[in-house]
Chains A and B, each alone.
Chain A
Amino acid sequence: MNSLLITAILEFMAIFLALIYLLQIHIDLKQVIAMIVTIVLPTILVYIWGAEWIGIVTLFVTTTVVFYYFSKKLRVLFDVCYVFISGILADHGAQFVSEHVPYRHDLLKDISYFIFFMIFFVVLIYIFSKVLDTFINVIGISISVQLLVFTIVIMTIVVFYMNSFIPTTKDEMALVKFNLSIQIGYVLLMSLVFSFLYRTLKMNMQVERRTLEVEQFTQYMQALEEVNRDMNKFRHDYANILLTMQGYLDDDDVDGLRHYFQQYIVKTEQHTLFKQKVLGNLDNLQVVGLKGLLATKALQADEYEIAIQIEIPDVIYEIPMDMIDLSRIIGILMDNAIEASKEQVQGSIHLAVFNSSSGSVVLIIRNFIGEKSVNISQLFNERFSTKGAGRGMGLTTVKQIVQHYPNVTMNTQIDGQWFVQQLNIRQEGHKT
């Protein structure tokens, strides 16, 4: 009886201290009394006159309510659950250790049990507080996930407790029922967890795809705006240009006029007109996600003074490939083409997208390489790159993506002085 009382006091204290630590609340004498009156006394009373398990439930409920009142934090439920689980684990662990040490005296055994219980308990609580802190700081958890976590924790607590008490009843049928209920419970729980996981992943994918599309479209809009600004500037300068030309004409200075025209008008405006033309060529591409990418890459190439030409003679409504994969492929191929063209004196990139008569979409990107030799078999080698280490991943990635599509084939070849990449994307289900 004596040792039972000590155990009880110890366990109460352990639970309270752990919760006070975890919830970071300051307590005074009033609260201590409140705890004793509202938690300890009812629990002991129920424990003595009721059944053991009702005592535990009472302890659980009263602790949760009182500590919620103290801290006003919803995570109390979670913390209480964890403290209980830790208590059970520490209790079992301490019992296990104490039983295996041959003490001569019962008192020694009890003391060792207490010490080990405290050590295990403190360690578990400490780990938990650290893990929880980082967990909460790193990710904001949605309500549904919180609920799920609570369900898992409560479920675990119930199973742990049932596990501790059931073996005392020797009825085999009860044991079978008990096991069955645990198993069913866990299967249900796992299905719930998986459905959650699945939904979250699916949502993430959709969000990612949507973000990409928006991003691409924004890029396209920006490119358009840039060209538009250039055009407006030209219009703005229009009057000035006319006046200057008038001046040359008044002086009959044809050479001066020619020089002015060549130097100031043709050179700058050619560039603007060129940009506008390149973007205009994208009109037929109705795949919004790609428009931005191609516009950006075209302007990028133009910045490096690479002659870029885009041909989209047919209206392309859809390309039967995942947008993210397609963007990655085209991004890599264009980057490679730009990278290679930078080394050329007269860099030139041509891109074409058209429908073939067999119903597939053909995409061709070629860049001028002149007499430079390219080793095709090395191109797809992960470690290989003409530009040094770390750059060779591109084509390997492209190849890997293409491999996952039964309706896509890719050709890479040297055609005269051009390095040509072709993608043939068939409508799904269309087989020859």
Chain B
Amino acid sequence: MKVVICEDDERQRLLMVEILTQHALMHQPSIEIVKTASSAEEVLSFLDHTAVDCYFLDIELAGELTGVQLATEIRQRDPFATIIFVTTYADQLQLTFKYKLAALDFIVKAHGETFLTELKTALDAAYEKYVQLGNGSQKFHFQVKMGEFIHNIRFDEIYYFATALQPHKVTLHSKNGYYEFYGKLNDIENLDDRFYRCHKSCLINLQHIQSIDKKHRKVTMQNGEVCPLSIRALATIHRKMDYF
């Protein structure tokens, strides 16, 4: 994983490089800091010839571009890059950074252990994401886009998909969330073997079936929610379930 650090304060920069290099050496030797820069322009010209996976950006950069502007630029070039902000001020636009620029983390500079630990944790998280991307494990994730932000929802956490009241809207019910997105059930029907179209309005995860009520043609999921069963599905659902 290629990492770039952009920080205009030299002491801070050296500290970050040291911490991250050490941590990488000990845990993930494949992490490599390919560039340390003190200005946004430096980073951008570096990007012209090298692809980078992960960025640690200081928000308060001296120079024409701030860290946020740099991040916006990076995001446009690479929607999958991991961006981690580092800042002096705690009351920055945290939510905006996270959801608009899809920043992975937001670390407040401070003296002492907390800052260092947060740096390491962020690096670990970035690496994990990098590995997932490399393994093509997004195959096992469903993505819901919300503006720039992408929710990656693991297949095994999804209970079911259902059509919404409004046409072209689909709802996703998972362990940790409820999501709505634009689309059709037909388009996601073949996402994975574990998903089964039990009704024209429902696509359920066969892993998470709690019980089947044949008489009322209903399926109760493990979270207690109920999906309808079509007559056709009534005949085949048991056979399908045997695989899970």
Where the two chains meet, the residues of A that have a C-beta atom closer than 8 Å to any C-beta of B are: 309, 311, 313, 350-352, 354, 356-358, 360, 362, 364, 366, 375-380, 402-406, 409-415, 422, 424, 431-432
B239 to chain A, nearest CB (A): 27
B180 touches A357 (CB 8 A): no
Chain A residue numbers with a CB within 8 Å of B164 are 403
Separation of A313 and B92 alpha carbons in the complex (Å): 11
Separation of A350 and B90 alpha carbons in the complex (Å): 13
B95 touches A364 (CB 8 A): yes
Given A311-B96, A406-B169, 8 more A-B residue pairs with CB atoms under 8 Å apart are A309-B91, A352-B95, A364-B99, A366-B95, A377-B224, A403-B164, A411-B179, A415-B176
* B243 within 8 A of partner (CB): no
When C-beta atoms are compared, the residue in chain B nearest to A277 turns out to be B91
| Interface residue count on the B side (C-beta < 8 Å) | 33
Chain A residue numbers with a CB within 8 Å of B147 are 354, 356-358, 360, 362, 424
* B146 within 8 A of partner (CB): yes
When C-beta atoms are compared, the residue in chain A nearest to B169 turns out to be A409
Interface digits, B125-164 against A, CB 8 Å rule (1 contact, 0 not)?
0000000000000000000101111010000000100001
When C-beta atoms are compared, the residue in chain A nearest to B166 turns out to be A406
A403 to chain B, nearest CB (A): 4
Chain A residue numbers with a CB within 8 Å of B177 are 376, 411-414
A432 touches B182 (CB 8 A): yes
* B168 within 8 A of partner (CB): yes
B221 to chain A, nearest CB (A): 8
When C-beta atoms are compared, the residue in chain A nearest to B179 turns out to be A411
A55 to chain B, nearest CB (A): 63
Chain A residue numbers with a CB within 8 Å of B200 are none
The contact of A410 among B91, B96, B180, B223, by CB within 8 Å, is B180
When C-beta atoms are compared, the residue in chain B nearest to A410 turns out to be B180
A356 touches B168 (CB 8 A): no
Chain A residue numbers with a CB within 8 Å of B166 are 403-406
**Residue among B96, B148, B149 with max Cβ neighbours from chain A (10 Å):** B96
Chain B residue numbers with a CB within 8 Å of A406 are 166-169
Chain A residue numbers with a CB within 8 Å of B169 are 406, 409
When C-beta atoms are compared, the residue in chain A nearest to B170 turns out to be A409
Separation of A313 and B31 alpha carbons in the complex (Å): 34
Chain A residue numbers with a CB within 8 Å of B100 are 313, 352, 354, 356, 362
When C-beta atoms are compared, the residue in chain A nearest to B181 turns out to be A409
The contact of A362 among B99, B167, B175, B178, by CB within 8 Å, is B99
A118 to chain B, nearest CB (A): 58
15 contacts between A and B (CB under 8 A): A309-B94, A352-B93, A354-B99, A356-B147, A362-B146, A362-B147, A375-B223, A378-B224, A402-B180, A406-B168, A406-B169, A409-B182, A411-B144, A412-B178, A432-B182
Separation of A376 and B172 alpha carbons in the complex (Å): 12
Chain B residue numbers with a CB within 8 Å of A413 are 151, 174, 176-179
A352 touches B96 (CB 8 A): yes
Interface digits, B173-199 against A, CB 8 Å rule (1 contact, 0 not)?
111111111100000000000000000
Interface of B is mostly: mixed
Separation of A409 and B175 alpha carbons in the complex (Å): 19
B151 touches A411 (CB 8 A): yes
Separation of A412 and B176 alpha carbons in the complex (Å): 8
B114 to chain A, nearest CB (A): 16
The contact of B180 among A309, A354, A409, A432, by CB within 8 Å, is A409
A356 touches B148 (CB 8 A): yes
Interface residues of B in 40-92 (CB under 8 A from A): 91
B99 touches A350 (CB 8 A): no
Chain A residue numbers with a CB within 8 Å of B180 are 402, 409-411
The contact of B146 among A311, A366, A403, A411, by CB within 8 Å, is A411
Chain A residue numbers with a CB within 8 Å of B91 are 309
A414 touches B96 (CB 8 A): no
Chain A residue numbers with a CB within 8 Å of B182 are 409, 431-432
Chain B residue numbers with a CB within 8 Å of A379 are 178
* B18 within 8 A of partner (CB): no
* B213 within 8 A of partner (CB): no
Chain A residue numbers with a CB within 8 Å of B178 are 376-377, 379-380, 410-413
Separation of A422 and B151 alpha carbons in the complex (Å): 11
B91 to chain A, nearest CB (A): 7
A422 touches B224 (CB 8 A): no
Q: Which 10 A-B pairs give the minimum distances between C-beta atoms? A: A413-B177, A356-B147, A352-B95, A409-B180, A377-B223, A311-B93, A403-B165, A414-B176, A362-B147, A412-B178
Separation of A120 and B179 alpha carbons in the complex (Å): 64
The contact of A377 among B144, B149, B225, by CB within 8 Å, is B225
A422-B176 contact, Cβ under 8 Å, with A309-B91, A403-B165? no
Separation of A382 and B176 alpha carbons in the complex (Å): 19
A357 touches B148 (CB 8 A): yes
Chain A residue numbers with a CB within 8 Å of B181 are 409
Chain B residue numbers with a CB within 8 Å of A351 are 95
B173 touches A311 (CB 8 A): no
Separation of A360 and B182 alpha carbons in the complex (Å): 14
When C-beta atoms are compared, the residue in chain A nearest to B76 turns out to be A357
Chain A residue numbers with a CB within 8 Å of B168 are 406, 431
**Residue among A311, A350, A378 with max Cβ neighbours from chain B (10 Å):** A311
The contact of B96 among A313, A377, A402, A411, by CB within 8 Å, is A313
When C-beta atoms are compared, the residue in chain A nearest to B180 turns out to be A409
Separation of A404 and B94 alpha carbons in the complex (Å): 31
A409 to chain B, nearest CB (A): 4
Chain A residue numbers with a CB within 8 Å of B95 are 309, 311, 350-352, 364, 366
A337 to chain B, nearest CB (A): 13
B175 touches A376 (CB 8 A): yes
Chain B residue numbers with a CB within 8 Å of A431 are 168, 182
Chain B residue numbers with a CB within 8 Å of A405 are 166
Chain B residue numbers with a CB within 8 Å of A375 are 223
B85 to chain A, nearest CB (A): 14
Chain A residue numbers with a CB within 8 Å of B149 are 362
A377 touches B146 (CB 8 A): no
A137 to chain B, nearest CB (A): 42
A427 to chain B, nearest CB (A): 13
